[in-house]
Structures are given as C-alpha cells and as structure tokens.
Amino acid sequence: MARGAFVAPTVVELAGDDPLWRDELFGPVLAVRRAPDDRAALDLVNDSVYGLSAAVFTDSLAAVSAAMETLDVGVLHINSETAGADPHVPFGGNKASGFGPKEQGGAAREFFTTTKTIYLRGAG
C-alpha cells in the first residue's frame, strides 16, 4: 500500500450547499449537485467565487445561447472537455480563478478586458 496523502478518484453528490461545493479542489474529486432545470444548473455554476472554465453538453442552441450569456467563466466549452488549451486563444479564469491577466494569445495585452472563449461542437 502506498504511503502518504492519496485520494482515489471520487464523485460526491451533495444535497445542498457544502464547503466541498465552494472550495477549489486539487485532486481527483468531483462534487455534483442536482438542479431542477437548465437555468438552475447555470445558477449553480455561477454561484462560486471561481470561474476558470466550464463545459456544457447539449444539442440545444437555446441552451448554448443561455450558457454563453449566463456563465461567468474564462473558457466555455460546448460539447467538448475542459482539459487542455489551444495556445492561440487566451486562457485564464474569471472571478477568483487564475492569476493576473489571461495567458497566451493577444488577450494577454488586454489586462482589463474580460474575455470568454467558447468551443462549440455539434452533438451528433
């Protein structure tokens, strides 16, 4: 058995607000909450001091539009994973995520600009 600090990949479903939902985790732990509808789910995403990136999986352009308009994140992926970054577009978070200006791309010069990058892949 390995010694030291180790947490196996874990998914935790929370019934309500919880420090696990509020704190930024650096480990293989995923906190999830159920929402009654799309709007409530977007509100749960925004109800955080962090805003590095988010992913929305849908085949609805209305849901894509709502996510684009509502989510306060630095990078928004539509139907693609949030891992990895394209070096040609700005990468960085909104709110308390990230450190300083956006990294990469021309937006690094736009120190006072809030940028949202959106990836859109068809659901089919």
56 C-beta neighbours (distance < 10 Å), count: 23
pLDDT (tens digit, 9 = 90+) per residue, 4-53? 878 899 999 999 889 988 887 778 998 999 999 999 999 999 988 888 88
Residues 84 and 95 in one domain: yes
The total number of structural domains in the chain stands at 2
User: Does any domain span residue 1?
Assistant: no
pLDDT (tens digit, 9 = 90+) per residue, 46-94? 988 888 889 999 999 999 999 999 999 888 999 987 665 555 565 566 6
Rounded to the nearest angstrom, the gap between the alpha carbon of residue 15 and the centroid of all alpha carbons in its chain is 20
What was the pLDDT predicted at 85? 58
Mean pLDDT score, 106-124: 72
Mean pLDDT score, 90-108: 59
Residues 26 and 46 in one domain: no
Q: Count Cβ atoms within 10 A of the Cβ of residue 123 and give its class: 0-12 exposed, 13-18 middle, 19 or more buried.
A: exposed
Residues 69 and 18 in one domain: no
74 C-beta neighbours (distance < 10 Å), count: 24
**Residue 26, domain extent:** 7-36
Residues 27 and 66 in one domain: no
User: Does any domain span residue 113?
Assistant: yes
DSSP-assigned states of every residue in 80-110: S-SSS--TTS-B--EETSSSSSPBSSGGGG-
